[in-house]
Structure 1
Amino acid sequence: MPSEIQLGSHTIRSHGYQVARFHMHDWLILLLLVVIEVVLNVIEPFHRFVGEDMMTDLKYPLQDNTIPFWAVPIIAIILPFIVIVVFYFIRRDVYDLHQAALGLLFSVLISGVLTDAIKDAVGRPRPDFFWRCFPDGKGVFHNVTGDVMCTGVSSIIKEGHKSFPSGHTSWSFAGLGFLAWYLSGKIKVFDRRGHVAKLCIVFAPLLIAALVGVSRVDDYWHHWQDVFAGGLLGLTVASFCYLQFFPPPYDLDGWAPHAYFNMMAESQNDNVSSTNNRNVRESELGSV
């Protein structure tokens, strides 16, 4: 493809500052999303009414996470970013590196904000809520309303009201879903040559995200509906964020971001303008 000729001439050193400065407002929005995410995790979620007869489905054992909280950013952000960096060293295109990193972070942070906002608003009890609320196994309920009167640790009880949707799942599908889109464009999955092996590469990140979601049900931290909603939310946001920065993978230009082609078009226009100006000046000198 003709536009691939200039690959390697736009590195972090030569064009990195220029690209980052052009998207300065996007990085500021990312910082705002981080602040909102912190606030949503600090505030108290809605405490939904939980009666004694509702405890039947909330008495699953309280156990540790198979995939701890600190591992989620590694799976959803660092792993995709490593792949993005590898492609940068292959192509030496700072436009691709910057737009992919920006899209990945937006995908994960938007999913995180939406997930935690819904968590706090819904306040659905987790499957292990009984043991969070009553660590001694002795249920206490209000003699008038019949609502639970928890005797456990407040921080553990607070987490017990954040079942819907699954944060592990939404983050994983946001980051790894973006990676699946990214790989689709880079390895040209839809080149109409019928290489099904390429699809296996694209489905691998989605399989990892799905296994993260399954672990949340197996650990009794989430109901299956929480995981399904989290996966759908994360994958939807990832799709929107990818298509904001890149053409669809089935497009002929699906291998590079929109910013790269915009830069190419502007460079060609500048070259045409400078050539025309030079021709005009030469003709004027000839007339003189």
Structure 2
Amino acid sequence: MQARHNLLWHLLLDLPILLLVAAVCILLEVGALPSRRHGFTCNDPALSFPHVGDTFSISLVAAITVIVPFLIIWAVEAMLRQNDEYNMKKSKLYLTAKIAAVIYRDYIYGAVVNLTILEVVKCVVGSPRPTFFDLCEPDKALTCNDSEFVSSYTCKSTKYSRYLQIDSSRSFPSAHASLSVYCGLFLAWYLQRRAFSWHNRSVLLIPLVQTLCLIYAAVCSLSRLTDHRHHWWDVLVGGIMGLLSVFYTVLVLCKNFSQPAVVSTSDISSSDGNNHQSVRRLLSSEPHVVVP
């Protein structure tokens, strides 16, 4: 009865709020809702780079942010139950999927908060990108004098879509940097707390995966500079926002991954009777079980 009551609250309150936030973000992103355009300085060389595309497309970053964390979390939680003799294989996968879903829910919540703040700040600031002149081709750029600041203009580009013309004034902060830092640091932190142990058969596997997560965060962020899609301060602030989001998600929502620490087979075989019994209780989903 309590579960049905909670589900009803989720459907009647939480789901509409989530859909409303998602709708606002989408409408802001596509330009359906008005947003501020900061303007530009005539002949500004910092805004005169050609548009060459994205090394990491937004669809790729979104796929990595949404899909990869759940797969890694599920794999780790399943690994933690590899010695569980009280559950069948099918039950173990189901139970570990439920545990992973709880952690993943908090991760997605933090990501949504991060992305919502990013989208609002982008539209409020309205900072032009380094490729602004190429993407927008503002009408006032041909007639303004050197160093003159233009606050009102119309994009006349025929080479690029309307979306890219609108996006040309949304440089600050970098969403790529924020999301990649958030995703990479969250996974590295999670792996350190839940998967790393000096008693594992391989002590280098988890650090290798953590390194790949951090490399992804760094390379994705720096590619925004090499692609001339952002100014350096856009990437810096975006990375800081991602870092703050990680601290909020891990420490406040996930309680610093306070589940039991990783236990390897070597720990079990080398422990005394009391520790052996405690480990079995952690690995089992049943109530208190005494193992001789």
CA distance in 2, matches of 1:201, 1:146: 48
* 2:54 paired residue number: 65
Q: Quick one: which amino acid aligns to residue 216 of structure 2?
A: I
Q: Quick one: which amino acid aligns to residue 69 of structure 2?
A: P
Q: Which moved more, 1:94-103 or 1:65-74?
A: 94-103
**Alpha carbons of 1:24 and 1:164: their partners in 2 closer, same or farther (altered >3 Å)?**
same
Q: Which moved more, 1:62-71 or 1:237-246?
A: 237-246
Q: Cα distance, 1:129 vs. partner? A: 0.5
* 1:56 paired residue number: 45
**Alpha carbons of 1:254 and 1:240: their partners in 2 closer, same or farther (altered >3 Å)?**
farther
* Structure 2: tracts of 5 or more residues without a match: 82-91, 263-281
* Structure 1: tracts of 5 or more residues without a match: 1-16, 256-263, 272-288
* 1:202 paired residue number: 210
Q: 1:87 aligns with which of 68, 76, 92?
A: 76
Q: Quick one: which amino acid aligns to residue 39 of structure 1?
A: L
Q: Quick one: which amino acid aligns to residue 246 of structure 2?
A: A
More helix by share: 1
| Alignment partner of 1:34 is 2:22 | yes
Q: Cα distance, 1:209 vs. partner? A: 1.1
Which deviations, in whole Å up to 9, do the C-alpha atoms of 1:92-122 show, x marking residues without a partner? 4355212211022112211111111110000
Q: Cα distance, 1:254 vs. partner? A: 5.8
Q: 1:103 aligns with which of 76, 81, 106?
A: 106
- The 8 Å contact of residues 181 and 239 in structure 1, kept in 2 or not, is answered as no
Q: 2:185 aligns with which of 174, 177, 180?
A: 177
Question: TM-score of the superposition, structure 1-length normalised?
Answer: 0.69
Percent pairwise identity: 26
* Local SS of the residue matching 1:177: helix
Q: Quick one: which amino acid aligns to residue 52 of structure 1?
A: C
- The 8 Å contact of residues 51 and 141 in structure 1, kept in 2 or not, is answered as no
CA distance in 2, matches of 1:197, 1:145: 54
* Local SS of the residue matching 1:86: helix
- The 8 Å contact of residues 80 and 179 in structure 1, kept in 2 or not, is answered as yes
- The 8 Å contact of residues 134 and 150 in structure 1, kept in 2 or not, is answered as yes
RMSD in angstroms over aligned alpha carbons? 3.6
CA distance in 2, matches of 1:115, 1:164: 9
CA distance in 1, matches of 2:99, 2:255: 12
Q: Which moved more, 1:155-164 or 1:172-181?
A: 172-181
* 1:226 paired residue number: 234
Q: Within 5 Å, which residues of 2 pair with 1:110-149?
A: 110-134=113-137, 139-141=141-143, 146-147=150-151, 148-149=153-154
Aligned residues: 238
Question: TM-score of the superposition, structure 2-length normalised?
Answer: 0.68
